A and B are shown apart, each in its own frame.
Chain A
Amino acid sequence: NAGVMQNPRHLVRRRGQEARLRCSPMKGHSHVYWYRQLPEEGLKFMVYLQKENIIDESGMPKERFSAEFPKEGPSILRIQQVVRGDSAAYFCASSQDRNQPQHFGDGTRLSIL
């Protein structure tokens, strides 16, 4: 999984706080995808971004969740007013274009107290 960098690797928040998860894609990749994985389950697609644009956010919860991929810097997945059900592993993947294979980071494990 070298290349796609996610941080932090582990994040603990109390209910009501904000969580910010960062993803730096592989060099030369301008397409970023975020997925969520609950324990004992497969990954669920959340959002697909290109530089400065949200291409598809059909998997994002309607409230409290947002994502961005600015011209400079990493992609950010933001969760406002976190609740216990937000506890999960969040994975980012990147690709060179929408049809080239995507490479995954090692995820951020979010725990809500």
Chain B
Amino acid sequence: GQQLNQSPQSMFIQEGEDVSMNCTSSSIFNTWLWYKQEPGEGPVLLIALYKAGELTSNGRLTAQFGITRKDSFLNISASIPSDVGIYFCAGPLRVNAGNMLTFGGGTRLMVKP
């Protein structure tokens, strides 16, 4: 199956700062998904990207589907304490896998008030 690499692994930032994290793959993806997971809970879908070059926003979150189709970026503007959590990128496990997903290792975000 396809594998995803996320960086950075963790970030400790001050409230109000902007955050940027990325996800790369050695193979092409036709869908990129960004999830957030909080302690004791399951992942929650933040943004879904389906087209190379696509830029999609959800409130203070913006994600982009890389032109090469091998990477994606997630930006969070003006971070607040409730942004704390682990952010995962995900994509289809293989071509035509539908909802069978492979996940990156996550970026753990900590926000200092």
* A and B associate: yes
Say which one of A13-21, A66-74, A97-105 lies at the interface with B.
A97-105
Please report which residues of chain B, range 5-43, place their CB below 8 angstroms from some CB of chain A when the two chains form the complex.
40-43
Residues in A neighbouring B100, C-beta threshold 8 A = 33, 45, 48, 56
A contact residues, total (Cβ < 8 Å)? 28
The 3 A-B residue pairs with the shortest CB-CB distance in the complex, in nearest-first order: A42-B103, A104-B42, A98-B98
Interface pairs (5), CB distance under 8 Å: A45-B93, A45-B102, A99-B99, A105-B42, A106-B40
Q: Which residues of B contact A (CB under 8 A)?
A: 1, 4, 40-45, 48, 88, 90, 93, 98-106
Which residue of B has the minimal Cβ distance to A1?
B42
Q: Is the interface of B mostly helix, strand, loop or mixed?
A: loop
A25 touches B (CB below 8 Å): no
On chain B, the residues within 8 Å of A45 by CB distance are: 1, 93, 100-102
A1 to B45, CA, bound (A): 10
Shortest CB–CB separation between residue A93 and chain B, in angstroms? 7
Docked complex Cα distance between A82 and B6 (Å) = 31
CB neighbours (8 Å) of A31 from chain B are 99
What is the CB-to-nearest-CB distance from B72 to chain A, in angstroms, rounded to a whole number? 14
- For residue A35, which residues in chain B have a CB less than 8 angstroms away from its CB? 101, 103
Q: Which residues of chain A from 1 to 50 have any CB-CB distance to chain B below 8 Å in the complex?
A: 1, 4, 31, 33, 35, 40-45, 48
